[in-house]
Amino acid sequence: MNRTRWVFAFVVLAAAAVVVASILVQRAGGVGPLIEQPQAIELRVVCALPVEPFVQDAAKKFNAENHKLEGQLIRVTVEPIDGLTAMGRYERGDMSPVPTVWIPDSRYLVELVNATFKEQRGRDIFLTGGEYRSRPIAVSLFSWGIYSSRATVLRNKYGEIDWSAIHDAATAKGGWPELGGAADWGYFKLVVPNPRRNVGGLAAMVAAAGEYYGRTDIGVADVTNPEFQRWLNELMGAVTDFSSLGSYSVENLALFGYSMGDGGQLLESDLLINMAGILNRWQDPLVIVYPKYVTWFDFPYTIWMGDETTALEKNAALEFEGFLLSPGVQQGAVKMGLRPANTEVSVTEADSLFVKWQDQGAMTVVPRTTMMRSPDREVLLALLRWFDLNVTER
């Protein structure tokens, strides 16, 4: 055998030895393969409770499709956190590790958190322009959801269902018989989410204040107005138990029926997704009524632009955002009672919950109404303080 063949044989044997040694090390619980495999890009998403089922379902499909960026797999995990709770954790520095994406209930929560970090760091941490800007992934309005039997009585008594009518019903000393209802209905019971556990409770109080004052914006002076506080206190007195109305108020309404409440102003998507269950369980469908002063959530997909996340993670966030906004995935949002952010997707398809529950008041297109302006930090804190002092101690 000449020298060249000896060298070739030696190289082959050496390579084989390396492979065998690598396999033996792995089987013995060693440090792993000698050639390091690329790590997956872990994309952590903190998500508002009303859209968590939609985002969680989309994440499972996204992961199953093995999306890659620069040759690395993207793996999405979704953590449900109420928007107000998440805002507090961001501002206290308790959000650790910092998620790459935050999908809160409303854009104004993003603006409040961004203002805090801009003061601390001298720059925006969430952007309003460019490819990394905050963009809604779905929309849902707040509307009245009231059991049909109760809604009929209220309409006969007051003509329309609004905060004024609800307040008068809540303060009727004779209860439902005074309003024209059955004696065994007792007193009117209002459903409002606990604002300490669900930002929807704050949205309900903001909407009530808008109707009380007859305008779209409220300030701290409006919240601390003694006459308004007296009116609001009487209204909230009709809530049976705030401690039981936690993060999932409509689910509780579906489970416990009239003992939990007769109705309230709640998120349209929550009402639609629970309509069938309520009808099957209580044989008294909910009626949906859209208020004059509308509040809504737009669930902005917000990418953290701080140094705590890498450029690759930020770009992976864009990949998942595009997936969420794709027509097929947005159709899944409609099936969960959400209005799509992608204008190519309609809510009028045959399997749409908006179509299915039209006879109960659901609208595919809501007529022009008056939109409430987003409250600032001082108004939110004033409402929460009022709630803590006047309601939670009951």
- Tokens 């985002």 belong to 55
pTM: 0.86
Interior angle at CA 314, CA 337 and CA 99, nearest 5: 65
Structure tokens at 342: 């992608």
- 56-73: pLDDT as tens digits: 999 999 999 999 999 999
When pLDDT is cut at 50, 70 and 90, the band that residue 137 belongs to is: very high
For residue 51, what are its two tokens? 């859209």
pLDDT one-digit tens code per residue, 282-315: 889 999 999 988 889 999 999 999 999 999 999 9
Distance between CA 25 and CA 33 in Å, rounded? 8
The percent of residues above 90 in pLDDT, for the chain, comes to 72
How would residue 182 be classed by pLDDT, with cut points 50, 70 and 90? very high
Identify the helix (H) or strand (E) that includes residue 74: strand 72-80
Alpha-carbon distance 287 to 266, whole Å? 12
Q: What is the mean pLDDT of residues 204-222?
A: 94
DSSP string, 252-266: HHHHHGGGT-SEEEE
* Cα angle for residues 285, 287, 288 (degrees, 5° grid): 135
The predicted pLDDT at position 292 comes to 87
Structural domains of the chain ordered from first start: 41-137+304-325 (3.40.190.10), 140-297+357-390 (3.40.190.10)
- What's the mean pLDDT in 331-351? 93
Give the span between the Cα atoms of 252 and 208, in whole angstroms.
22
- Note the pLDDT tens digit of each residue in 17-31: 444 444 444 444 444
CB atoms within 10 A of CB 68: 14
CB burial class (10 A; 0-12, 13-18, 19+) of residue 155?
A: middle
Residue 19 burial (CB count, 10 A): 11
**CB atoms near residue 276 (< 10 Å):** 14
Which of 169, 91, 104 is CA-nearest to residue 135?
104
What is each CA distance from 93 to 86, 88, 96, 97, 320, in whole angstroms?
10, 8, 7, 10, 26
- Asked if 360 and 285 count as a contact pair (C-beta separation under 8 A), the reply is yes
| Interstrand relation of 263-267 and 138-147 (parallel, antiparallel or unpaired) | antiparallel
**What does the alpha-carbon distance between residue 59 and residue 76 come to, in Å, rounded to a whole number?**
6
Predicted confidence at residue 392, as pLDDT, reads 64
Question: With contact defined as beta carbons under 8 Å apart, do 289 and 161 qualify?
Answer: yes
Where do we find the tokens 């490819």? 131
Tokens of 22: 């690598």
Write out the two tokens for 356: 């299915």
For the record, the structure tokens of 36 come out as: 């390091």
